Amino acid sequence: MTDQHPIDESLVEQLAAPLGERLAALHDRIAAAGGDNVQLLPVSKAHPVEAVVAGQRHGLATFGENYAQELAAKHSTLGEDAPGFHFIGQLQRNKVRQIATAVTVWQSVDRIRVADEIAKRAPGAHAFAQVNLAEDPAKAGCNFEDLPELVDHMQSIGLQVDGLMGVGTAADDAATAAGFRRLRAQADSMGLADCSMGMTADLELAIKEGSTMVRIGTALFGARQ
Ligand SMILES: *Cc1c(COP(=O)(O)O)cnc(C)c1O
């Protein structure tokens, strides 16, 4: 509760106008890429809670956040008016409890221990398994090899596995497209409907490869501080 502070209404108004313009442009961009049925997840990380409120005024109902502390603070500030939050950041097992009641979808589940903690703190929660598309040990996500075991486990402990999540390789379209294609094929082979893939820089590639959800920060809220 120490994070609680009132909403700065003038900041909400200041953010709402450019956000409306960017949202319209983004919808055009998604439609032009053939993504009429693709869900938009606005990513509000590193932007103030007022950006979330401005988004809600434009009809956005669910937001992506990367950091447990920041998500918990926004949720607590907004109280009953809090939107749904998707957790999309690197997930530490000891942070799950802090955000268990605030998160509606856990998109970045990449290991069994974290899945177990989510099932304990938020039984039956909706989740995605995050895959390390670049197979780079420095990056988050489960390897393709270990994915069937992770997804089986998540389902066996009662999590609702909606699909798979992945992050493209910065400044490498060929690698990004290959990773997205592999993620889509893997989801299909496991009978999972959703693929959360595509960000500001690579949403067209992601939609082309079968994304059902793009996670967009910069194109909506501007550059992060
Ligand atoms: C920050 C982030 C996004 C949004 O990125 P933009 O390039 O600002 O659109 C999407 N997904 C994840 C996992 C992120 O960390």
Domains and CATH numbers, the chain: 9-221 (3.20.20.10)
Q: 34 in the Ramachandran plot: left (φ > 0), alpha (ψ -120 to 50) or beta?
A: left
**From 30, 40, 43, mutation site for ligand 1 pocket: most ligand atoms within 8 A of C-beta:** 43
122 lines ligand 1 (CB under 6 A): no
Instruction: Note the pLDDT of residue 225.
Output: 75
pLDDT of 19 reads 98
> Cα of 113 to ligand 1 centre, how many Å?
24
Give the model's pLDDT for residue 77. 96
List pLDDT tens digits, range 119-178.
999 999 999 999 999 999 999 999 999 999 999 999 999 999 999 999 999 999 999 999
User: How many residues are there in the chain?
Assistant: 225
User: Residue 1 pLDDT more than 70?
Assistant: no
Residue 207 pLDDT > 50 = yes
Q: Is the CB of 88 under 6 A from ligand 1?
A: yes
Kindly provide the residue ranges of all beta strands, DSSP E only, lying in 15-138, ordered along the sequence.
Answer: 39-42, 62-65, 84-87, 103-109, 126-131
**Contacts for 11 with CB less than 8 Å, ≥ 6 apart:** 48, 50
For residue 36, pLDDT over 90 is answered with: yes
In a 10 Å sphere around its CB, with 0-12 CB exposed, 13-18 middle and 19+ buried, how is residue 1 labelled?
exposed
For ligand 1, atom 10: residue with the closest CA: 215
* Residues 94 and 72: beta-carbon distance below 8 Å: no
Q: pLDDT of 39-97, one tens digit each?
A: 999 999 999 999 999 999 999 999 999 999 999 999 999 999 999 999 999 999 999 99
Residue of 199, 205, 224 best suited for mutating to test ligand 1, as the one with most atoms within 8 Å of CB: 199
pTM of the model as a whole: 0.96
